[in-house]
Amino acid sequence: MAIRLPLVVANWKLNGDSQLLTEMVNNIQQLDADNVEAVLCPPFVYLNEDTQDVKKGAQTIAIQDSGAFTGEISGRMLRDVGCQYVIVGHSERRSLFNETNEIVAKKVLSTLAAGLIPIICIGETDEQRENGETTAVITEQVKAVLDVLPNYSDSIVFAYEPVWAIGTGKTATGDQAEEIHAMIRKTLAGYSQELADLTRILYGGSVKAENSEELFSKENIDGGLIGGASLDVEAFRNICKNA
């Protein structure tokens, strides 16, 4: 079994400022890099700041590399300011900015083309879960990306985020999440066993310091994508320590 270094990603969404970024960096840079990889994804305007040894990621990316696309930010620019990761297809991008599976797949390709690692968000809504569509929805989201990958050796990350758990305070139990993560890994294995062994699958949805230990203890949960709790320095550091 391959070793997957736990990954914990802070998704600040439309929150935070340069002072919080400095405080966060000062508090998490002592974490043991052999045990956990921490990545901060503040809004675009803070990505140019020096985060020392702490890795940076963007919250979205343009499909295009350059040109007349007012307001967009390309992978080349993200790489230029030292980003290593890009969150792609977050449920808020899917629901509020109409990002379809097809658009998400294109954004994964533009991320990889820039030499960055996509953190691909997938997950079912409350209604889809109630209707017993969870497996079908997630499999379709995963396949939409895998079907366009030029090869399976590029590093990618998936984040399973049940939409009903994002920012709601409701979290999937460790067992509920593990069942879905195992299913995602099995889908990856259908494409490449190496991809399945190496790809980190994060859990996201109201993760806090208190519930992170149980979630991260599961075999197929390789870390977390953290929203609300990533704005609290102490909470985020404790979540990283639990990974």
**Given the structure tokens 């909470």, which residue do they identify?**
235
Among residues 37, 92, 124, 161, which one is catalytic?
A: 161
Q: Is 172 helix (H, G, I), strand (E, B) or coil?
A: coil
User: Where in 174-213 is the site for ligand PEP (CB under 6 A)?
Assistant: 204-207
Distance separating alpha carbons of residues 7 and 128, to the nearest angstrom: 28
**Given the structure tokens 């998490």, which residue do they identify?**
28
How many positions of this chain bind ligand PEP (CB under 6 A)? 13
Distance separating alpha carbons of residues 243 and 241, to the nearest angstrom: 6
Among 6, 7, 8, 11, binds ligand PEP (CB under 6 A): 11
Measured from the CB atom, the residue of 38 and 196 that comes closer to ligand PEP is: 38
> Interface with ligand PEP includes 118 (CB under 6 A)?
no
Check the annotation: does 228 bind a ligand.
yes
Residue 90 annotated among the catalytic residues of the structure: yes
Check the annotation: does 57 bind a ligand.
no
User: Where in 76-115 is the site for ligand PEP (CB under 6 A)?
Assistant: none
Measured from the CB atom, the residue of 57 and 227 that comes closer to ligand PEP is: 227
Q: What is the rounded end-to-end Cα distance, in angstroms, of the chain?
A: 18
> Interface with ligand PEP includes 123 (CB under 6 A)?
no
Residue 161 annotated among the catalytic residues of the structure: yes
Q: What are the two backbone dihedrals, phi and then psi, of residue 10, each rounded to the nearest 5 degrees?
A: -95, 115
Up-side HSE of residue 57: CA atoms within 13 Å toward CB?
26
Q: State the nearest-atom distance from the C-beta of 207 to ligand PEP, in Å.
A: 5
Which parts of the chain fold into alpha helices (H)?
Answer: 18-28, 75-80, 91-96, 101-113, 126-130, 134-146, 174-189, 193-198, 209-216, 233-242
Cα dist from 45 to 17, 21, 27, 174, 210, whole Å: 9, 12, 21, 35, 31
Among 124, 161, 178, 222, binds ligand PEP (CB under 6 A): 161
Task: Name the segment binding ligand PEP (CB under 6 A); options: 22-30, 142-150, 159-167, 194-202.
Answer: 159-167
> Interface with ligand PEP includes 227 (CB under 6 A)?
yes
Measured from the CB atom, the residue of 115 and 167 that comes closer to ligand PEP is: 167
Annotated binding site for substrate: 11-13, 167, 206, 227-228
The footprint of ligand PEP (CB under 6 A) covers 11, 161, 166-167, 204-207, 225-229
User: Mind telling me the catalytic residues?
Assistant: 90, 161
